[in-house]
Amino acid sequence: MGISYNEESRSFKLTAKDTVYMLAVINGEYLGHVYYGKKVPDEQLNYLMRLEESPFTPERNNRDRAVYLDTTPFEYPCFGIGDYRESALKVMDSEGMSACDLRYVSHRIYEGKPALEGLPATFATEKSPAETLEITMEDAHERLTAVLVYTVFEELDVITRSVRFVNGNDKPIKLTRALSACVEFDTDKMDMITLNGSWARERHMERCRLHVGKQLIDSCRGESSHQNNPFVALCEHNADEDRGEVYGFNFVYSGNFVAEAEVTQHAKTRFLMGINPLDFEWLLEPGESFTAPEVVMVYSDSGLGKMSRTFHDLYRENLIRGEYKDRRRPILINNWEATYFGFTSEKLLDIAKEASKLGIEMLVMDDGWFGHRDSDNSSLGDWFVYEKKLEGGLSALVEKVNALGMKFGIWFEPEMVSPDSELYKAHPDWAIQIKGRDLTLCREQYVLDYSRKEVRDYVYDMMRKILDNANIEYIKWDMNRQLTEVGSNALPKERQRELWHRYVLGVYDLMGRLTSDYPHILLENCSGGGARFDAGMLYFSPQIWCSDDTDAIERLKIQHGTSMCYPCSAMGAHVSDCPNHTVGRNTPFKTRGHVAMVGTFGYELDVTHIPQEDRDAIPGQIEEFKKYNPLVRTGDHYRIGNMFEDNTFDAWMFVAKDKSEAMFEFVQVMGRPNQRSRRIRLKGLDPDAYYYEESRPEETFSGAALMNAGINVAWIWNGDGIYGDFSSKILHFVRK
C-alpha cells in the first residue's frame, strides 16, 4: 500500500520506494505535517508535532491560539489567522478581507493519478504505478474548499502535490496567493541548492546555507526564465553527490513561480513552491474552480546523485510523451549559426547534400523563412513562406531534402508578433499591452495575448497550412522575449491580473493541439536558448534547447546544472563551429562531439565550410553517438567531476540499468605540465562483477576496484609535447 490512514491517530502515511511522508488531522480540524524522510515502519508519529508541549492545542489552551498557530507545522498554512510565517494561501473576499482558515473535512484514497485540468503533470503507467490521496479542506466562513492532492509513485522516491480550489459561496472570492506545496522541516541546518544564471549561462548550480529569514528564487518574467529555474534542493550541510539527505522540489510549470525557504524564530524551516503571487490574482465566481500546478518532491538518502536519477527516471517514464519518448532522436543539422538570416533554398540544399553524405539525418531551417524576414525586425506572426528567399516554395525544398534521404524540420516563434507584420497591422490589439502606455520592444517584437482563443486559433491555422503543405517532421518552437505591460484587451478589469497564468494556459493549449494533431512531429522547445527548460515544457516536447551557448566548455556547467533535475536525453545539444559564436573559444572537434553526446546531439554549423579534418570526423562521430545514445537515454547518470568546484577537468558516467556496461567521459579542461595521471573513482557499477575497458579487453577489474580504488586517467596530449586544453576521451566498460 502506497497510502494508508490510521483512524485512531487520524494520520496519513504515504510510502514511496525508500520514502515516507506523514501528516495528521489535529483536534479534528487542522492538518499538520508530521514527517518526511527515510522509510520507517511506524503507522503514526504524531508526537513529532509536539502537541503535548506548550502552547498546546486550542482545545486545551485557547487563550494562546495565536501562539499555537504561529508554531505548529501546518500542511497547508493560510494567511491572516495568526500564523505569521509565509503562507501557502491568501484570499480576498467580497468585503476586501484577507483572512482564511482551512479546516479538515474529509479524504479519499484511490489508485492511479488524476490529470490536472489545462495543465501538464506527471502520470502513472503500468511500469510505474501510483496511488493518490485527496484531502478536502474548507474555510466555513467563506465556504472556500481546497482539495489537497498527493500522489505516491511506489516504485520511485517520488510524491507529487497540487491543490484544487472551489468557491462554494454565493459571492465571488479572489485568490491572491495559491501555492502548490508546503513542507515543514524540523531544522535550520540545511543548504539550499538552486539553478541560476542568464542568457547563455543558464542553470549554473549555486549552493548556500540557510539563514534566519526568507530566501527565495522566483520568476516574474512570464516564463520560468534564464535567471532562475523552478528547481530547489534542500540538503544536509555535508551532503554531496553520493552521501547525505537531500529533498528535491521541481515545479511542473512554465510561467512565473516562487520557491522559498523560511527559517523561523524557532530554528525550523518552512519551504513553499507555486505560482508567483507577485501581480497574481484569480477571481472565483460562485461555483468556479482553480487548479494549482504540480510540485514534484524527491527524497534521497544517498546524496544529490540519487535525487537526480530519480527525477530522470520519473520524467522519462511519467512525464515525457509521444512517439519519441523512448526513441533516439534524429541527428540534425540546424542552419542558424551557419547562415543566420542569410540563406536561400540553394544554400540550404548545399548544406543538406553535404550533410546527407556524412550521415546526418535531418535538416532544420531556422529563423528567416517567412513573411519578408531578412533580420529580426519584421514578420513574426506572418507564418507564410518568404518566396523571394525560398524560390519554388517550401514543399519543393522539402521534397528535395527528402530525396537526399533526410528529414526536414522548421522553426516557429508562435507567441510573438513584429510591429512590421501583416498580423500586427490588422490586429494591434492582439498584443499584450496596457491601453495608453507605450509598448516595450525587445528583439523588436511584442508578445501575443495567448489568453484569447481567437489569437491562438489564428496562429494555429497559419501553422497548420505550413505543416499540411510539406513533409515536416520536426518543429523548433522558440520564445525570445519576456512579458511587459501585462494587460489584455479582452479581459475585464477584475480579471486583468489573471493574464500571467492565462497566458501560460494558452501556450499549453496550443502545444497540446499541435502534439495531438501531429503526433509524428518531434517538438523541441526553445526560449532564447534555455529560458523555458522546465518540466511543464517536457510534457509537450521530449527535448528542450539547453542554451544558445554551444561552446563545449561553457556547456559543461550548463549541462551539469541541468542534470540536477532533468534527464540528459532531453538536453538539446549540438556541435558548433569555432571560434564559438558566443564566447570566441576554440575547442577540438572531438571534444565538441563528446559534450554534445550527453544530450540529443546534432550540428549547428555550415558543413560546407568547416575544415576538411572536421568534416571527415563527422561519420565516426555519428557512429560513436549511435553506439552510446541508448545509455544516455535509458541508463543512470553519475556526475563525477564538478566544474563549479574544480575547473581543471570534468567527468561523468552513464551506466546501464542492469550494470552490464558503462560509458565514462572525461574532459581535460586545462592541461597541467609535470603532472601524473588523475585518479578517478567510477560509480554505479556492480561491485561483484568484473569489467574490461573496450580498448583493452585483456585486462579485467572488479566493479569494487573500479569504484573504490579507481582508474588512472592520463593527461591528454595534443602532440608536439603539449598538454591539450579542452581535450576529451571516452572509455567504455563492459561486464564480462
Residues in the chain: 736
Alpha carbons 721 and 158: distance in angstroms, whole number:
51
The span from the CA of 484 to the CA of 440, in Å, is 7
Rounded to the nearest integer, the mean pLDDT of the chain is 96
Q: Determine the pLDDT at residue 48.
A: 96
pLDDT tens-digit series, residues 579-629:
999 999 999 999 999 999 999 999 999 999 999 999 999 999 999 999 999
Q: Taking a C-beta distance cutoff of 8 angstroms, is the pair 242, 235 a contact?
A: no
Q: Does residue 546 sit in helix, strand or coil?
A: coil
pLDDT above 60 for 311: yes
55 upstream amide cis, omega within 30 of 0: yes
> What does DSSP say about strands 362-365 and 407-412: parallel, antiparallel, or unpaired?
parallel
Residue-wise pLDDT tens digits, 663-699: 999 999 987 766 788 999 999 999 999 999 999 999 9
First-to-last C-alpha distance (Å) of the chain? 39
Cβ-proximal residues to 343 (8 Å cutoff; 6+ apart), any chain: 335, 365, 368, 389
Q: State the pLDDT at residue 517.
A: 98
Contacts of 469 (CB under 8 A, 6+ apart): 394, 395
Cα–Cα dist 56/72, whole Å: 9
Model confidence band, residue 716 (pLDDT cutoffs 50, 70, 90): confident
CB–CB of 545/530 below 8 Å?
yes
Query: Does the CA dihedral 186-189-193-198 come out positive or negative?
Result: positive
Same CATH fold, 649-735 and 3-318? Answer: no
Q: Write down the pLDDT at residue 714.
A: 86
Mean pLDDT of 636-643: 97
Rounded-to-integer distance, Cα 640 and Cα 305, Å: 10
pLDDT at 57: 82
Q: For the chain, which residues make up each domain, given as ranges?
A: 3-318, 649-735
- C-alpha cell, 478: 522558440
φ and ψ of 264, to 5 deg: -95, 180
3-state secondary structure of 423: helix
Q: Which of 3.40.1380.10, 2.70.98.60, 2.60.40.1180, 3.40.50.300 would CATH assign to domain 649-735?
A: 2.60.40.1180
Q: What is the pLDDT of residue 490?
A: 98
Contact 477/523 with Cβ under 8 angstroms? yes
- The arithmetic mean of pLDDT across residues 286-298, rounded, is 98
Q: How confident is the model over 302-322, as a mean pLDDT?
A: 98
Mean pLDDT for 383-400 is 96
Alpha-carbon distance of 587 to 490, in angstroms, equals 51
The residues, any chain, with a CB within 8 Å of residue 357's CB and separated by 6 or more, are none
User: Is residue 723 over pLDDT 50?
Assistant: yes
Looking at the chain, the whole-number percentage of residues with pLDDT higher than 90 is 94
Cβ neighbors of 371 (< 8 A, separation 6 or more) are 378, 379, 380, 381, 382, 383, 384, 386, 418, 421, 422
Task: Identify the pLDDT of residue 718.
Answer: 61
Spatial distance between the Cα atoms of 466 and 484, rounded to a whole number of angstroms: 30
C-alpha cell recorded at residue 20: 515516507
pLDDT tops 60 at residue 720: no
Q: How far is CA 40 from the centre of its chain?
A: 31
- What is the β-pairing status of strands 446-447 and 474-477? unpaired
Task: Give the single-character DSSP code of 244.
Answer: B
pLDDT for the residue 651: 97
pLDDT-derived band at 722, boundaries 50, 70, 90:
very low
Core vs surface per residue 75-104: b (16+ CB within 10 A) or e: bbbbbebebebbbbbbbbbeeeeebbbbeb
Residue type, position 50, single letter: R
Please say if the pLDDT value at position 297 is more than 90.
yes
What pTM, to 2 d.p., does this model score? 0.97
DSSP state, 96?
Answer: S
Q: Could you give the residue numbers annotated as active site?
A: 478, 548
pLDDT band at 479, cuts 50/70/90? very high
Q: Which CATH number applies to 3-318?
A: 2.70.98.60
Is residue 321 over pLDDT 70?
yes
For residue 721, what pLDDT is reported?
Answer: 46
Confidence of residue 65 (pLDDT cuts 50, 70, 90): confident
Q: 731: which residues sit within 8 A by CB, 6+ positions away?
A: 663, 664, 666, 693, 694, 695, 711
Summarised one tens digit per residue, pLDDT across range 422-446 is 999 999 999 999 999 999 999 999 9
Query: Parallel, antiparallel, or unpaired: how do β-strands 696-702 and 690-693 relate?
Result: antiparallel
Average pLDDT over residues 50-70: 85
- In sequence order, the β-bridge partners of residue 410 are 365, 475
H/E/C letters for each residue in 198-228? CCCCCCEEEEEECCEEEEEEEECCCCCCCCE
What are 489-500's pLDDT values in tens digits?
999 999 999 999
> Which residues lie closer than 8 Å to 5 by C-beta, 6 or more apart?
11, 12, 13, 107, 109
Contacts of 152 by beta carbon, 8 Å cutoff, 6+ apart? 2, 3, 14, 15, 16, 21, 130, 131, 132, 133, 158, 159
